[in-house]
Amino acid sequence: MDAFLIRGPSRLAGTVPVSGAKNAALPALAAALLTAQPVGLESVPAVADIRTMQKLLTGMGVSVALSPGGGVSLSAHDVRSTEAPYDLVRTMRASILVLGPLLSRFGEAWVSLPGGCAIGVRPVDLHVKAFEAMGARVAVEKGYIHAHVSRVGTLAGRLQGTTIRFPTVTVTGTENVLLAATLARGTTRIQNAALEPEVVDLARLLRKMGASISGEGTSTVVVEGVERLSGTGSAPHVVVPDRIEAGTYLAAGALTAGDVTVAGARASDLPAFLSALAAAGASVEETESGVRVRRDGPLRPVDLATGPHPGFPTDLQAQFMALMTQAEGTSRIAETIFENRFLHAVELVRLGAGIDVEGHTATVHGPSRLQGAPVTASDLRASAALVLAGLVAEGETLVRRIYHLDRGYSGMEGKLTALGAGVERVSG
Ligand code: EPZ
């Protein structure tokens, strides 16, 4: 099992290129199920979750060709199965994103229930309720969500557009309904829709494929169903840059009192995060190549709460907590999206951080002198926080179970080394 061996402290300086967003590429791959014509994507990150989605789709008969430069060409011309099996879904709950397209194009889907995940129960009830409102019959049978649209009566095998109002903002819930609504009969109105840039990117891809969508990026998205979708034609869809990856490296620059530019990052994707970095005493600058963060003075404590976009991203909460361990004072970080997303706190304490967790709030007492030690990653973003802490800890930090990191970061050791960090991948 791979681990990262990190020798600290270090100061990061230089420029790293941002990869395409995993959380935009996953729904984009699922969108290929909606058409028999070829779909081309560019800037798809080489990370484990993408390979999992590739396995899921090829298991259904979709041809998926990944090329080294981040290009992917897909064809769902010969889909022979509408099943997403447990052994794949249990490793990646975003597999639920095939439910909407399968239901909408084929009238049936068998998707394993995702099972638990380190950061909380993470149910899919809002996805299921939305599809039932669109006319699907959904039952849970032997651990699988079996959804189908009856072939008799008015629906004749097609979902029916309707108004879906999400009680809480759900990113993949919004994406799943958006995917399904493109081929549903009539108009679908999604209220309290997620505003994330990845949702906006999916809408742009679907529009290129012939879907009729308006309002993406606002809390009400309207979709007029069409008979069929085309492929992406001659112009592959370029996936948006990964704002969470960008934020991770920018946090590393601020943490190590360095000077880091993430080329290709878009400041407009990270408003709350960048203002929190500035409030902490880093200087944040949008350059023509991307976003640059420098820090040469002391870090100040910052109180914040995560929230749906454009609020502070929950996916950068762990990384910001690592930063706050070096702030001169007490910070309070409230996690409002997931009920168990502080697993990194106890590992940061092992490195010497002063953190108390009380329900949804973590109180960070800084600054603390971090000392290298073996730590264990528990989930994707927690592992990033441990790597960041290792950069400023004195001595060697061994971050174990780095497969969590490999799910969402491509070539992290290379990017950090290029910035001057002492990081190597070892088996540990
Ligand atoms: C997406 O997950 C992201 N994943 C997550 O990123 C991200 O943390 C999350 O959005 C929040 O921004 C992908 O896009 C693939 P939600 P998602 O549905 O869609 C509850 C990463 O690190 N909920 O917006 O699964 C849920 O439990 C990952 O890349 C229900 O109750 O998150 C949570 O408390 C981690 N019922 C809240 O809503 C449902 O049916 C928001 O979840 C769906 C969600």
pLDDT, tens digit (0-9, with 9 covering 90-100), for 348-387:
999 999 999 999 999 999 999 999 999 999 999 999 999 9
Rounded to 5 degrees, what are φ and ψ at 247? -60, -35
Find the domain containing 283 and state its range. Answer: 2-19+241-427
Q: Which ligand 1 atom lies nearest to the CA of residue 407?
A: 29
Rounded to 5 degrees, what are φ and ψ at 285? -140, 135
- Nearest residue by C-alpha to atom 5 in ligand 1: 315
Same domain, 257 and 395: yes
- Full-model pTM: 0.97
Distance 380 CA to ligand 1 centre (A): 13
Distance 338 CA to ligand 1 centre (A): 8
Ordered DSSP codes for 173-190:
HHHHHHHHHTTSBSEEEE
Ordered DSSP codes for 300-365:
PP--EEB-STTSB-GGGHHHHHHHHTTSSSEEEEE--S-TT--HHHHHHHHTT-EEEEETTEEEEE
Q: Identify whether the C-beta of residue 379 lies closer than 8 Å to the C-beta of residue 314.
A: no
Strands 259-263 and 290-294, bridge-based pairing: antiparallel
Same domain, 301 and 341: yes
Same domain, 29 and 170: yes
Q: Identify whether the C-beta of residue 423 lies closer than 8 Å to the C-beta of residue 413.
A: yes
Same domain, 347 and 230: no
Q: Which of 238, 255, 279 is the last residue of a domain?
A: 238
Question: In whole angstroms, how far apart are CA 79 and each of 5, 185, 214, 304?
Answer: 44, 22, 29, 46
Distance 407 CA to ligand 1 centre (A): 16
Q: Which ligand 1 atom lies nearest to the CA of residue 122?
A: 27
Average pLDDT, the chain: 96
Distance 172 CA to ligand 1 centre (A): 6
Residue 152: predicted pLDDT: 65
- Nearest residue by C-alpha to atom 8 in ligand 1: 315
Same domain, 89 and 180: yes
Q: Which ligand 1 atom lies nearest to the CA of residue 198?
A: 14
Same domain, 257 and 274: yes
Q: Which ligand 1 atom lies nearest to the CA of residue 408?
A: 29
Same domain, 186 and 47: yes
Q: 118: buried, middle or exposed (CB in 10 Å: 19+, 13-18, 0-12)?
A: middle
Residue from 168, 199, 201, 317 whose mutation best tests the ligand 1 pocket (most atoms within 8 A of CB): 168
Residue 118: predicted pLDDT: 65
Over residues 26-64, the pLDDT tens digits come to 999 999 999 999 999 999 999 999 999 999 999 999 999
Give residue for tokens 């239901």: 103
Residue from 140, 337, 378 whose mutation best tests the ligand 1 pocket (most atoms within 8 A of CB): 337
User: How many angstroms separate the CA atoms of 422 and 4, rounded?
Assistant: 10
User: Which of 105, 89, 124, 136 shows the shortest CA–CA distance to 31?
Assistant: 105
Same domain, 78 and 96: yes
In a 13 Å sphere around the CA of 190, the CA atoms on its Cβ side amount to 36
Q: Is the pLDDT of residue 121 over 70?
A: no
Same domain, 164 and 30: yes
The mean per-residue pLDDT over the stretch 100-119 comes to: 87
Q: Which of 188, 217, 238 is the last residue of a domain?
A: 238
Q: Confidence class of residue 292 from pLDDT cuts 50, 70 and 90?
A: very high
Residue 86: predicted pLDDT: 93
Of the candidate ranges 44-48, 99-103, 116-120, 307-311, the one whose mean pLDDT is the lowest = 116-120
- Nearest residue by C-alpha to atom 35 in ligand 1: 315
Rounded to 5 degrees, what are φ and ψ at 165? -115, 110
Question: In whole angstroms, how far apart are CA 22 and each of 14, 53, 70?
Answer: 24, 11, 11
Q: Which ligand 1 atom lies nearest to the CA of residue 93?
A: 25
Rounded to 5 degrees, what are φ and ψ at 422? -100, 90
Q: Is the pLDDT of residue 266 over 60?
A: yes
**CATH no. for residue 9?**
3.65.10.10
Question: In whole angstroms, how far apart are CA 405 and each of 246, 255, 279, 283, 411?
Answer: 14, 19, 28, 27, 10
User: Which of 171, 151, 172, 149 shows the shortest CA–CA distance to 161?
Assistant: 149
Q: Confidence class of residue 156 from pLDDT cuts 50, 70 and 90?
A: low
The mean per-residue pLDDT over the stretch 196-204 comes to: 98
Q: Dig out the tokens for 139 from the structure.
A: 């039952």
Q: Is the pLDDT of residue 100 over 80?
A: yes
User: Which of 106, 24, 112, 109 shows the shortest CA–CA distance to 72?
Assistant: 24
Q: Identify whether the C-beta of residue 95 lies closer than 8 Å to the C-beta of residue 88.
A: yes
Sign of CA dihedral 370, 348, 262, 415: positive
Q: Is the pLDDT of residue 117 over 70?
A: no
**Contacts from 292-298 at CB under 8 Å and sequence distance 24+?**
292/259, 292/260, 292/261, 292/262, 293/250, 293/253, 293/254, 293/259, 293/260, 293/261, 294/253, 294/258, 294/259, 294/260, 295/253, 295/254, 295/257, 295/258, 296/257, 298/328
Give percent above pLDDT 70 in the chain: 97
Residue 116: predicted pLDDT: 60
Q: Identify whether the C-beta of residue 298 lies closer than 8 Å to the C-beta of residue 281.
A: yes
Same domain, 361 and 247: yes
* Count of domains observed in the chain: 2
Give percent above pLDDT 90 in the chain: 93
Over residues 396-421, the pLDDT tens digits come to 999 999 999 999 999 999 999 999 99
Which residue out of 113, 117, 133, 279 is catalytically annotated?
117
Q: Is the pLDDT of residue 151 over 80?
A: no
Q: Which of 238, 271, 299 is the last residue of a domain?
A: 238
Over residues 336-356, the pLDDT tens digits come to 999 889 999 999 999 999 999
Instruction: Specify whether 117 is catalytic.
Output: yes
Distance 170 CA to ligand 1 centre (A): 6
Residues in contact with ligand 1 by the CB-under-6-Å rule are: 23, 26, 94, 120, 122-127, 168, 170-173, 314-315, 337-338, 380-381, 408
Same domain, 282 and 145: no
What b/e readout covers 230-246, taking b as 16+ CB neighbours within 10 angstroms? bbbeeebbbbbbbbbbb
Same domain, 211 and 304: no
